Amino acid sequence: MAFLLLLALLGGVGKARFLYLPLDDRPPNWGPCRYGLVLCPPKALYRGPEGADLPLLRAWLLATPGEALVGSLDALAYGGLLQSRRLFLPQEDALARLAPLLSWKARYGGRLYLFGVIPRWDAVQRDRNLEVLQGVAPLLGLKGVYLEATWDDAVRGSPALEEARRLPYPTRPGADEAGQVLLLRALRPGLRVAVVYEDPVLAGHVTPYEGLPLEETVARLLESAGARRVPLSGGPDLVLYVYGGLKPRGALLQLLRLMGAHRVALVDLARVNRGDPRLVENLLALGLFPRLAAYAAWGTPANNLGSALAQGGLFLPDEEGRRARLMEAYFAYWWGEVGRPWVRARFPEPLPQEAEEALRLFRPVPWEGGVLELLGLAFPWGRSFEAEGALSLRPLPGEGLSP
């Protein structure tokens, strides 16, 4: 059976120029596989909380040519983020599992954009993981290789910041947005970005789960993305607007002015894993939300910064893609604000099918000449934190949607 599955996988390889090997198949990590920009492994190889099927994942990689590969070290070594925290595996064996990356590069000559994760505070195998991150450092000596590590959920007192300082390559906060950010580096290097804070005081704030002043997190993120920071007066390709929930009305006025002259990616940092309804509802009422270049509020500050930057940059020339990403971002906002609290108050995990009843709480949203509707709801990991929505944009009577 495994042999037949492998034949089917290899038969559908195609000739995509850019490959993407996600950290796992949770929505933030798997999302780029729906973008139409990259070739991903077959979804069947990523098995939710069980982790990836590593023999088949390696076989897919070695059989798939490409110009570049954006890939997760933790997926290839351990099967995913959860497995990296607890799977017993000696360092030398974990490094051996990464050898197919070198084989792929030797066979096809493609560039490698690789990211590992510095474990969060409760990881059982943190020492082993750090040894592996040190062990891959020689990859930096190869032409066409970029390597970085992100640290996962650094609560107060986490050793992750000190551990990051000991690595001889770039590090920054985050994890689940890292694949998107490196796709931006691979597909649209040199993006010119202006950063605007709701209030300059935000730049010095040490944000939750990061351990760094926000300004430093932003600087490291831009480095990861291969982006170049420019002043607002310097004709940026994209404005990254960082909102901290201080003054929603003032922020709305700022956004009105900025969106009149620039493409704006809105990073909503008012709350962790949730957006600010005071701002979002006003943006919707004025018809501004669907005009954003990107929006993110689903995760930690670094998650949101990376998602908004990556999606805003990747879809600058693609209106259809931009619209699709914004609809997904609105669903993630709605889920954090309405759906998730409702489900958590009523159902244990793993969630039963009845949890999909949260679907009826969604209210249709006016959206650029149409109405955004939620037609279906799924929980890919059986948890309330991750949800996927089947979204539809229904045209208003007598109107069509612009291409």
Residues 156 and 290 both lie in one domain: no
Residues 18 and 85 both lie in one domain: yes
User: Residues 70, 113: contact at Cβ < 8 Å?
Assistant: yes
Q: Note whether residue 402 is domain-resident.
A: no
Residues 197 and 346 both lie in one domain: no
Lowest mean pLDDT among 3-12, 107-116, 240-249, 301-310: 3-12
pLDDT at 5 over 50: no
Q: Note whether residue 4 is domain-resident.
A: no
Q: Which residues pair with 21 in a beta bridge?
A: 71
Q: Note whether residue 367 is domain-resident.
A: yes
Average pLDDT over residues 319-333: 97
pLDDT at 262 over 90: yes
Residues 111 and 228 both lie in one domain: no
pLDDT at 2: 47
pLDDT at 396: 81
More confident call, 395 vs 403: 395
pLDDT at 16: 52
d(Cα 350, Cα 380) in Å, to the nearest integer? 10
- Model pLDDT for residues 62-78, shown as the tens digit of each residue: 999 999 999 999 999 99
Q: Note whether residue 171 is domain-resident.
A: yes
Count the residues in the chain.
403
pLDDT at 281: 97
Which of 257, 284, 317 marks a domain boundary? Answer: 317
Average pLDDT, the chain: 94
pLDDT at 155: 85
- Model pLDDT for residues 172-220, shown as the tens digit of each residue: 999 999 999 999 999 999 999 999 999 999 999 999 999 999 999 999 9
pLDDT at 21 over 70: yes
Residue 1: pLDDT band (50, 70, 90) is: very low
pLDDT at 268: 98
CATH number, position 229: 3.40.50.1110
Helices of type H across 72-212: 73-78, 81-86, 91-97, 99-108, 126-135, 160-165, 178-187
Q: Which of 370, 297, 371, 308 is nearest to 334 (CA)?
A: 297
d(Cα 16, Cα 322) in Å, to the nearest integer? 21
Q: Note whether residue 2 is domain-resident.
A: no
Could you give the number of structural domains in the chain? Answer: 3
Residues 295 and 373 both lie in one domain: no
Q: Which residues contact 179 (CB under 8 A, 6 or more apart)?
A: 20, 22, 23, 29, 32, 70, 72, 115
Residues 177 and 197 both lie in one domain: no
Residues 35 and 101 both lie in one domain: yes
Radius of gyration of the chain (CA): 21
Which of 160, 187, 214 marks a domain boundary? Answer: 187
Residues 66 and 106 both lie in one domain: yes
Provide the residue range defining the domain that includes 389.
335-395
Residues 22 and 102 both lie in one domain: yes
CATH number, position 126: 3.40.50
Residues 183 and 204 both lie in one domain: no
- Model pLDDT for residues 222-237, shown as the tens digit of each residue: 999 999 999 999 999 9
Which of 129, 152, 187 marks a domain boundary? Answer: 187
Q: Note whether residue 1 is domain-resident.
A: no
pLDDT at 307 over 70: yes
Residues 275 and 162 both lie in one domain: no
- Model pLDDT for residues 332-387, shown as the tens digit of each residue: 999 999 999 999 999 999 999 999 999 999 999 999 989 999 999 999 999 999 99
Residues 24 and 166 both lie in one domain: yes
